Amino acid sequence: MIVTIDGPAGAGKSSVAKRLAKEIGFHFLDTGAMYRCVTFACLRKQLPLTQFEEVANVATSVQIEFRGTLVLMDGEDVSQEIRRPTITKSIRPIADNPSVREAMVALQRRWTQGRDVVTEGRDQGTVAFPNAECKIFLTATPEERARRRVGQLIELGMDADYQEILEQQNQRDSHDTNRPSGALKVATDAITVWTDGLSEDQVLQSLVEIVQRKQEEMSTRTTVDTR
């Protein structure tokens, strides 16, 4: 069974998707980490990120693996490095490159073969797994997402200006939504979950219920089909 979780930046997808996978005993696939690895590999090679063909070659040759909570790039643990702000700032031309997206989607499909997976990203229910059994679109209003980000930065001891963060986030949203391939949009058969005012535990609970309902529907269908 494939459970896709898509949604805009700051909706709290990563941590809740990870917890959901653990709770229901599924594997977890963090597709943002894959785009981060390609970006990191290109920056290391000092490759201009707008050289689309060379970047695409990196995307098809780099070995990306997930081991528990670790992300390995060509065998090296890069779990920390790929989360650095330089990577986040540089990722846009990589995630916009259609050849990179094609390579990542192929890898995502290979990785999920024969496994029960919760996969998290922007295009999982629309492009990578259009036939996924359970699709969730996790979102929150821009103001709520910006408030949460400010809270996280302050907790890390960093300065955070709400207006500035809201503006940057609006720009990212607009870019993610208008990307020529793999754009962020709600799959027609996705269930949208608004997380405004909900704690992470409450969001997790509602996701677990959605998956369980889908599993029940699937088992009823199988019972009917085999009669």
Residues that bind ligand C5P (CB under 6 A): 9, 31-32, 35-36, 91, 95, 121-123, 176, 182
Shortest Å distance, C-beta 93 to ligand C5P = 11
Q: Return the residue nearest ligand C5P (CB atom).
A: 32
Comparing CB distances to ligand C5P, the nearer of 47 and 215 is 47
Residues in a beta bridge with 67: 70
Shortest Å distance, C-beta 39 to ligand C5P = 8
What is the C-alpha separation between 224 and 68, in angstroms, rounded? 37
Comparing CB distances to ligand C5P, the nearer of 31 and 139 is 31
- The DSSP code sequence of 15-55 is HHHHHHHHHHT-EEEEHHHHHHHHHHHHHHTT--TT-HHHH
Chain-centroid distance of CA 59 in Å reads: 17
Shortest Å distance, C-beta 36 to ligand C5P = 6
Comparing CB distances to ligand C5P, the nearer of 36 and 135 is 36
Q: Is 6 left (phi over 0), alpha (psi -120 to 50) or beta?
A: beta
Comparing CB distances to ligand C5P, the nearer of 88 and 215 is 88
Show Cβ contacts of residue 227 under 8 Å, excluding neighbours closer than 6 positions: none
Shortest Å distance, C-beta 225 to ligand C5P = 32
